[in-house]
Amino acid sequence: MSKKITALIAIASLTLSLGVSTKASEPQTVQAAQNQKSQLRLGQQFKFPKTWRGKWFSNNNLTPSPMIIHKTAFNTPWTNDYVKVVKTGFVKGTKKYPWQMPNAWKQSNKDELAKYMRVTSKKIKGNKWIILSPVQEKTFKNGFAFIVKKESIAGKTHKVLFQGNPENGLIINQYFKSKTLTNKYSAYEFKNMKYSKINPR
């Protein structure tokens, strides 16, 4: 009888010990996961102007999907991926920008980095453009330049979203708020903008 009681006490003690050990490790596990998740806090969220937000259409073969601009993100017109836009700062826990991080870090975080683009602005030929480029690249040569302008179309004023070369501002694509306007004016060249001949619309 005493052996049975002793065995039960031992089992209870082991169970309690395991329970305490498991619970004690839970906060550490959660904290580790949170740290790993928040490590890629790459900067302050960028807010698109309200006049930019919504769905924009294009007939360009390279942009088969509408460009949907949200408050702090957008769905890309080329792959329809949802991408967050940030004003790039230091990677959390470091004093380095994403492009200054080791290649091993970039490789291990490539899937997460693909969910972000960094925003800068640039004045080209009197127009202020918003440049969206890969967050892990210092230059914006692989980026996209955008500007929204009011244009007169058939006697009415409409907003047009222009996509240009980030280095010289030459237009490579343009988006409209309706499919009707897109079908009519996707290849139209507005007189106040200069167009690239490399990537015709």
Q: Is the pLDDT of residue 59 over 60?
A: yes
42 or 110, which is more confident: 110
Residues in the chain: 201
151 or 41, which is more confident: 151
34 or 68, which is more confident: 68
Mean pLDDT, rounded, for 184-197: 94
C-alpha closest to that of 135 among 66, 71, 73: 73
d(CA 160, CA 193): 11
Q: Which two structure tokens, joined as six digits, stand for 196?
A: 């690239």
**Burial profile 136-155: b = 16 or more Cβ within 10 angstroms, e = fewer:** beeebeebbbbbbeebeeee
Task: Show Cβ contacts of residue 142 under 8 Å, excluding neighbours closer than 6 positions.
Answer: 133, 134
Averaged pLDDT score across all residues of the chain: 83
Reduced to 3 states (helix: H, G, I; strand: E, B; else coil), residue 130 is: strand
Q: What is the per-residue pLDDT for 52?
A: 97
What are the pLDDT digits (tens) for 35-44? 344 456 788 9
39 or 165, which is more confident: 165
Q: Which two structure tokens, joined as six digits, stand for 35?
A: 């740290």
Q: What is the per-residue pLDDT for 119?
A: 96
Q: Is the pLDDT of residue 84 over 70?
A: yes
Q: Which two structure tokens, joined as six digits, stand for 20?
A: 């305490």
Q: What is the per-residue pLDDT for 40?
A: 67
Q: What is the per-residue pLDDT for 187?
A: 92
Mean pLDDT, rounded, for 134-141: 93
What are the two backbone dihedrals, phi and then psi, of residue 33, each rounded to the nearest 5 degrees?
-65, -40
Rounded to two decimals, the pTM is 0.78
Q: CA 166, 81, 128 angle in degrees (round to 5)?
A: 25
Q: What is the per-residue pLDDT for 10?
A: 43
